[in-house]
Amino acid sequence: MKLAILGSSPIALEAALRFHLHGASLTWFNAEEEAIEAHFENFLSEAAYTSESGLELLKGIGAPYKSQSTFNFSYWKKNYYEPLVNLLGQEHKVKAHEVVSIAKRYLSQEETPDHKSRFFDLFRLVYQVNPQEFIKEQEATNPETFERLSKELVDSLQKNIEMYEDFDLVLDLRKAIFCPSISVTGRALGEGRVSSDHVSYGLEALKIFEELKANDHEIREIALIGSEALSAKIITSLKEWLKDERSRLFVVSEEAIPYEKFIDEGETSAVNELKILLNEMDNEFQHEINTFHLKLREWQSLDDFVQAKVLKPVEPIPRLVFFSGHNATAIDQLIDKRRLFLTLEKPDFRKGLRQPENNLLELKTIGVDRVLVANKMQKSKLEILLIPQEKGFFSMDSALPNTKNAWEKDLQQLKGIENEIFKLFSPADAH
């Protein structure tokens, strides 16, 4: 079988290793992607992203992988990932090119050949190649050929060119690193007009702490959209910023109790880190409430003529504000581009149990300095012109490393894909 694997994720490497050992004709498109693992390495065990087959192959080439007491992504990439990529490259095609389109070779999406399934037709992958790489390769390895290339030809090869290759099977194992919108429905009013400097999506939102250090006096109120695994990582990364009494964080979530699902499914240390932060913020607000009631009673005990001269204590607002059971449905920005305004809505069919006092209005607007979007992540845009559940096309999303048994769950998903592929190419009892 001729197989294409897309992605540079650890599970893409593992898939390439497995199908190498199965004897498949393999092409691995491993264009560089954002290193999710580097952001979450403190939640990973020393054996993360390794497998028995990978360890055995490294031992066989005299480069055994020695795991560290704590996982380090850079060490793993240098001593596990890269040697295995080089090993696979000796027998298979390993291309650091970006795939831009996946379709059937001849069939349209509405077409099925007579008396055959759509699987009869091959998959056609269109990918981009930087011709400069070819030119440099020719200059280094074939100087005589390079000299014969005309200046006009070399000058014409300044942009990426597209090529294609056909396959029996395609595994899309690219990383999900983008959030499409501030709205869980995928569409928010005005989102396209807002400055990208003020809204960060997906993994880019994790880098907000760098901006906070550089612009400490400017960013005082932040809205965090979503309460899944990525949001849990972002909110804990903001704990130093939250210690400043001038800071306020708004968490907008469709969950009735934000982070309830993550607390149930998250990795133990990640969950504990989140719980500690939430408890600290709850205790801080409770202390402010107690102080407020004490001062209010003191003020109420004053004579009327004294009350007229003394300001009435103002009820405090929590610095960690939850809009539970809500959608962010619109966003707007002032002309000076300093403040963003989010429109939030809560439907009747959804409960909001965390800080329910924020649910009195169905429609409300909040103003913030930054918006961080951590809804469910998706893979980067790729034109996939296939029917739903196209036989021979497989896709999976890796679990974020701060979820419980993330690597083991990925391996289980990959095993399920293997089993489905074996059904296509061999008798049911052959494996």
Question: Does 190 lie in the same domain as 277?
Answer: yes
Residue 148 counted as domain residue: yes
Residue 430 lies in a domain: no
Average pLDDT over the chain reads 90
The answer to whether residues 122 and 67 belong to one domain is: yes
Give the model's pLDDT for residue 218: 80
For range 291-308, the mean pLDDT: 92
The answer for residues whose C-beta is within 8 angstroms of residue 347's C-beta and 6 or more apart is 325, 327
List the CATH number of the domain containing 345: 3.50.50.60
- According to the per-residue pLDDT averaged within each range, which of 11-25, 194-208, 333-347 is highest? 11-25
Q: What is the pLDDT of residues 366-413, one digit of tens each?
A: 999 999 999 989 998 899 999 999 999 999 999 999 999 999 999 999
User: What pLDDT, on a 0 to 100 scale, did the predictor assign at position 428?
Assistant: 43
Confirm whether 400 is domain-assigned: yes
- pLDDT of residue 426 exceeding 60: no
121 and 60 in a common domain: yes
Residue with tokens 């000058």, as numbered in its chain: 155
Mean pLDDT across 235-239: 95
Domain, as residue range, for 23 = 2-177+379-425
pLDDT cut 70: percent of the chain above it:
93
Predicted local confidence at residue 396, as pLDDT: 94
Q: How many domains does the chain have?
A: 2
Residue 247 has pLDDT above 80, yes or no: yes
Regarding whether 109 and 190 lie in a shared domain, the answer is no
Q: Are residues 65 and 199 in the same domain?
A: no
Asked whether residue 238 is domain-assigned, the answer is yes
For residue 96, pLDDT beyond 70: yes
**Least confident piece of the model among 132-136, 158-162, 317-321:** 132-136
**pLDDT the model gives residue 134:** 63
User: Which band of pLDDT confidence, cut at 50, 70 and 90, is reported for residue 336?
Assistant: confident
Residue 196: its pLDDT value, please?
82
d(CA 36, CA 73): 10
In whole angstroms, give the CA distance from residue 80 to residue 85. Answer: 9
What mean pLDDT do residues 89-97 have?
A: 94
Token pair in block for residue 108: 């349209």
Measured CA to CA, the distance from residue 236 to residue 266 in angstroms comes to 13
**Can you give the pLDDT at residue 130?**
81
159 falls within a domain: yes
Output the pLDDT for position 187: 85
The answer on 63 and 136 residing in a single domain is: yes
Residues 247 and 368 in one domain: yes
For the cut 90, the answer to whether the pLDDT of residue 149 exceeds it is: no
Do 11 and 143 reside in the same domain of the chain? Answer: yes
Lowest mean pLDDT segment, chosen from 16-25, 209-218, 245-254, 337-346: 209-218
Q: How many CB atoms lie within 10 A of CB 237?
A: 17
**Is there a domain that residue 306 lies in?**
yes
Q: Which residue has the higher pLDDT, 62 or 1?
A: 62
Confidence of residue 427 (pLDDT cuts 50, 70, 90): very low
In a shared domain, residues 161 and 246: no
- In this predicted model, which residue has the larger pLDDT, 76 or 426? 76
Q: Domain end: 358, 373, 388, which one?
A: 373
Q: Is the predicted pLDDT of residue 146 greater than 90, yes or no? A: no
Condensed to tens digits (0 to 9), the pLDDT of residues 157-193 reads 667 788 999 999 999 999 998 898 999 988 899 998 8
Mean pLDDT, to the nearest integer, of 286-291? 95
Do residues 179 and 375 lie in contact, with contact meaning Cβ atoms separated by under 8 Å? yes
Query: Is 90 exceeded by the pLDDT of residue 61?
Result: yes
Q: Are residues 257 and 346 in the same domain?
A: yes
Secondary structure of the chain as H, E, C letters = CEEEEECCCHHHHHHHHHHHHCCCEEEEECCCCCCHHHHHHHHCCCCCCCCHHHHHHHHHCCCCCCCCCCCCHHHHHHHHHHHHHHHHHCCCEEECCEEEEEEECCCCCCCCCCCCCHHHCCEEEEEEECHHHHHHHHHHHCHHHHHHCCHHHHHHCCCCEEEEEEECEEEECCCEEECCCCCCCCCCECHHHCCCCCEEEHHHHHHHHHHHHHCCCCCCEEEEECCCHHHHHHHHHCHHHHCCCCCEEEEEECCCCCCHHHHHHECHHHHHHHHHHHHHHHHHHHHHHHHHHHHHHHHHCCCHHHHCCCCCCCCCCCCEEEEECCEEEEEEECCCCCCEEEEEECCCCCCCCCCHHHHCCCEEEEEECEEEECCCCEECCCEEECCCCCCCEEECCCCCCCECCHHHHHHHHHHHHHHHHHHHHCCCCCC
Are the beta carbons of 26 and 62 closer than 8 angstroms?
Answer: no
- Residue 339 inside a domain? The answer is yes
Residue 99 reports pLDDT greater than 50 = yes
pLDDT at 429 exceeding the cut of 50 = no
In a domain, 431, yes or no: no
pLDDT in tens, 301-317: 999 888 888 999 999 99
Q: For residue 214, what pLDDT is reported?
A: 65
- Do residues 69 and 168 share a domain? yes
Residue 232 and residue 97 share a domain: no
Q: Which residue did the predictor score with more confidence, 256 or 215?
A: 256
